[in-house]
Amino acid sequence: MSIQDLLIRHHLRPDKKLGQHFLADPQLLERELAYAELGPDDTVLEIGPGLGNLTALLAARAGQVVAVERDRRFAACLGEVQERHPNLEILWGDALEVDLPPFDKAVANLPYQVALPLVFKLMERRFERAVLMVQRDLARRLVAKVGEGGYGRLSIAVGRRAEVEILEEVPRQVFYPPPEVESALVRLERTRPKFSVPDEEFFRVVLEAFFKHRQAPLAQAAQAVRDRQLPQPLLAKILARLPEKLRRKPVCRLTSAEFGELTWALWKKRAG
């Protein structure tokens, strides 16, 4: 049954405020599953199942599926999927607010307006692989390397704990209704952290503070930072101890490992 037929049958209209755009290409749905390499021992997390067209495919391949949905208008159509697949559990609520259950893999067409915080929330959990549909610009930021335009907090924080690749770019015409942006499928393979940080939240603070001044040399950016957790005397003391070459380096040219070292130096001096 087509997306349009399902919507008519259940008397539903996509909610623009929630960014509801339903993937209507059966072949692309099948490729999502193939990229995830699902097996009967996998517990799969889906965020934003909507009408359940991807959900049904996941439940047919995986041992357990947990689908998180905030829009209860989809209760009837997801209930029908659940009747056919008793290994499906529906968790009602906002994925940004609910406690996500343990999962091995995540496969989801993420709601675009909250895709960025959802990626960060997923990275807080232990999992093997995630296959996610996101807006193309976000996908390019995820895989951006040092010095590239999209390089920043996202690519550093996610890349520290995962190998990320764009699987394919997806035109807007395969969605109903079509979104205003192009999309992309990305795969995240969790790895051991490539370098350590003293505290994840403090690492986030450091990245956010400095990337507000991404083109400025590190020393100049430090003078412009305004954050209670990074007071100017602390920044000045740490920056004075860094090599001149590093101080003159633009923020966007620092490697992720260099940001890790900077975070450690700030943390130790702050704690001491």
Tell me whether residue 151 is in a domain: yes
Question: In this structure, are 209 and 260 located in the same domain?
Answer: yes
- One domain for residues 145 and 204: no
The answer as to whether 135 is a domain residue is: yes
Which one of 169, 190, 211 terminates a domain?
Answer: 190
Q: 68 lies in a domain? A: yes
Range of the domain at 246: 200-271
Tell me the pairing of strands 175-176 and 22-23: antiparallel
Contact indicator for 265, 218 with CB cutoff of 8 Å: no
Please give the pLDDT value at position 1.
63
Task: Count structural domains, the chain.
Answer: 2
Indicate if 34 and 75 belong to the same structural domain: yes
DSSP strand pairing (162-170 vs 129-135): unpaired
- Output the pTM of the full model: 0.93
Q: Can you list the alpha helix ranges (DSSP code H) found in 66-114?
A: 75-84
Residue 119 forms part of a structural domain: yes
- Encode the chain (272 residues) as per-residue pLDDT tens digits: 678 777 778 777 777 777 788 899 999 999 999 999 999 999 999 999 999 999 999 999 999 999 999 999 999 999 999 999 999 999 999 999 999 999 999 999 999 989 999 999 999 999 999 999 999 999 999 999 998 989 999 999 999 999 999 999 999 999 988 889 999 999 999 999 999 999 999 999 999 999 999 999 999 999 999 999 999 999 999 999 999 999 999 999 999 999 999 999 999 988 76
Beta strand ranges found along the chain (DSSP E): 22-23, 43-47, 64-69, 88-92, 105-109, 129-135, 162-170, 175-176, 183-190
In the chain the first and final C-alpha atoms are separated, in Å, by 63
Q: Tokens 């965020």 correspond to what residue?
A: 47
* Residue 7 confidence (pLDDT): 75
162 and 190 in contact (C-beta within 8 Å)?
A: yes
| pLDDT at residue number 13 | 79
- Asked if residue 76 is part of any domain, the answer here is yes
* Whether 235 and 141 share a structural domain: no
The DSSP string of 191-255 is: -S-SS--S-HHHHHHHHHHHHTTTTSBHHHHHHH---TTS-HHHHHHHHHTS-HHHHTSBGGGS-
46 in the same domain as 137: yes
One domain, residues 67 and 158: yes
Whether 106 and 235 share a structural domain: no
Quote the pLDDT of residue 20: 80
Q: Are residues 35 and 113 in the same domain?
A: yes
Question: Is there a single domain that holds both residue 89 and residue 29?
Answer: yes
Domain boundary among 190, 216, 240: 190
254 assigned to some structural domain: yes
Retrieve residue 130's tokens: 């995630």
State residue 11's pLDDT score: 76
Beta-bridged to residue 151, according to DSSP, are none
Q: Which of 157, 190, 223 is the last residue of a domain?
A: 190
60 and 122 together in one domain? yes
Give how far Cα 99 sits from Cα of 141, 160, 173, Å. 26, 23, 34
Alpha carbon distance 128, 11 (integer Å): 38
Helix (H, G, I), strand (E, B) or coil at 268: helix
Residue 70 lies in a domain: yes
Q: What is the CATH number of the domain that holds 186?
A: 3.40.50.150
CA 9 from centre of chain:
33
**Residue 263: CATH number of its domain:** 1.10.8.100
pLDDT value of position 272: 63
Residue 243 CB partners (closer than 8 Å, separation 6+): none
The answer to whether residue 195 sits within a structural domain is no
Contacts 24+ apart (CB under 8 A), 33-39: 33/57, 33/58, 33/61, 33/107, 35/131, 35/167, 35/185, 35/187, 36/105, 36/107, 36/129, 36/131, 37/129, 38/62, 38/105, 38/107, 39/63
In this structure, are 166 and 75 located in the same domain?
yes
- Does residue 184 share a domain with residue 131? yes
